[in-house]
Amino acid sequence: MNDFSPLKSSPDFNSLFAGFTPLASEMVPLAMARGRVLASEVVSAELLPPFSRSTMDGYAVRAADTCGCSGLEAAHLTVIGAIAMGDSAQELSLQPGQAARIATGGALPELADAVVMVEVTRHQETGAVEICRPVAPGENIIHAGEDYAHGAVVLSRGSRLRPQDLGVLSGLGITSVPVYRRPRVAILSTGDELVPADQTPSPGKIRDINSTTLAALVEEAGGIAIAHGICGDDFDRLLKVCTKAMEEADVLLLSGGSSRGQRDFTHQVFAAIPQGQMLSHGVSVRPGKPAILARQGNKSLFGLPGPAASAMVIFYCFVRPLLRHYAGLGATLGLSSVRAVTAQPFPSAIGREEYVRVSLSPQEDGALPLATAVYGKSGLLSPLVRADGLLPIGQETEGLGRGIEVSVLLFP
């Protein structure tokens, strides 16, 4: 929770998230588990690898037999056999002066403690081998259990499963894992002016933009987006649609109508939802000030401001951390950041946290990239399309000068 925001003076929702708990877990097969978050620790019940293996094509030997040998004074060893891939080497046991032919990944015979790579050996017609370079015990071998011993912690709870993690699990014979359920996020747009994207708006109307952006943001953050389309600015209809949406969703994102205007009903709707509880109306974040957070048990309801940039900033600052918290990752921003240098002054008022849309341009000679503001009203879309990320400016900071080193949060 502590690194919830890159800024000290951060969003008021931070402490409010403490009341929400991660979602229940479910078992999923490995093929469905990439990107999911482990809900319990995975401990190895076996040795990995299960037997000591060669990492080279060559000869399994007793290292002591190669001591002091060289190209001029090769060690002569008797070859007692070859270990076929996939065979256990149990029937082979090396006595002093003996070697066995082995391939990469082959099982080491008993009493062998090293492998000499084939490039430093000379095969003799007599069935002997000359070793031209000494090996130390353990050389060119992966020991049984060297990756994971019996009882070793392989992956900890809360890890997001990557391809290599899934590989390890299959190596241990674990074919399904418990992961946190993905939060189901209902998305609804409100506004009498809105029409669906596939319609031609009549004069005075505009197409719904937020439904599409928010659904993509939700999916990127690991949630499941459930589209509920558009609802007019009508308290009764909104209450009905929101109540119904909450039956199957963990989170509701209602964009539009979150201010205190005459046709803004989000606040009243959230207050009237069965078992609903208002947590906050308004945040000291710009853009995005009129955001709303409410809860219904462990479920959350967000009222997002309608302008595209405001909705997006509130999503990154508040919704995304809560989705991550639900998914077992902790209530953090989870955005990567880069160091950059301001290309211009960034004015900002004291008392609210500002998230300025910036574009980054690389500089010569390994200098940090330049961050240039792509200013524009919060309802404009083109600045968002041109921006690479957000430059946060803290509540206590009255703007930034030119040439200042800053951290820019990158859009994922």
Site for ligand AMP, rule CB under 6 A: 189, 191, 193-194, 206, 208-210, 255-259, 305-307, 379
CA distance 248 to 235: 21
Contact string (CB under 5 A) for Mg ion, positions 225-264, x = contact: -------------------------------xx-------
The verdict on 305 binding Mg ion (CB under 5 A) reads no
Q: How far is the CB of 375 from ligand AMP (least distance, A)?
A: 18
Q: How far is the CB of 259 from Mg ion (least distance, A)?
A: 8
- Identify which of residues 256 and 321 has a Cβ nearer to Mg ion in the complex: 256
CA distance 152 to 43: 6
Sign of CA dihedral 214, 258, 386, 359: negative
Cβ neighbours of residue 236 closer than 8 Å, sequence gap 6 or more: none
Cβ neighbours of residue 27 closer than 8 Å, sequence gap 6 or more: 176, 177, 178, 179
CA distance 163 to 259: 44
CA distance 320 to 218: 8
Binder of residue 392, out of Mg ion, ligand AMP, none (CB less than 5 to 8 A by kind): none
- Identify which of residues 5 and 259 has a Cβ nearer to ligand AMP in the complex: 259
- Reduced 3-state DSSP string for 349-380: CCCCEEEEEEEEECCCCCCCCEEEECCCCCCC
- Identify which of residues 11 and 257 has a Cβ nearer to Mg ion in the complex: 257
Binder of residue 305, out of ligand AMP, Mg ion, none (CB less than 5 to 8 A by kind): ligand AMP
CA angle, residues 204, 206, 212, in degrees to nearest 5: 165
How far are the Cα atoms of 73, 77, 122, 129, 373 from residue 125, in angstroms, in the given order?
A: 18, 13, 10, 9, 76
The verdict on 328 binding Mg ion (CB under 5 A) reads no
Stretch that binds Mg ion, among 184-192, 344-352, 362-370, 401-409 (CB under 5 A): 184-192
Other Cβ atoms less than 10 A from the Cβ of 298: the count is 12
Q: How far is the CB of 307 from Mg ion (least distance, A)?
A: 10
- Identify which of residues 10 and 259 has a Cβ nearer to Mg ion in the complex: 259
Q: How far is the CB of 354 from ligand AMP (least distance, A)?
A: 19
Q: How far is the CB of 273 from ligand AMP (least distance, A)?
A: 19
CA angle, residues 314, 316, 317, in degrees to nearest 5: 65
Q: Is 259 helix (H, G, I), strand (E, B) or coil?
A: coil
Which residue minimizes CB distance to ligand AMP?
306
Q: How far is the CB of 340 from ligand AMP (least distance, A)?
A: 30
Binder of residue 102, out of ligand AMP, Mg ion, none (CB less than 5 to 8 A by kind): none
The verdict on 191 binding Mg ion (CB under 5 A) reads yes
Q: How far is the CB of 299 from ligand AMP (least distance, A)?
A: 22
Which residues are near Mg ion by CB under 5 A?
191, 256-257
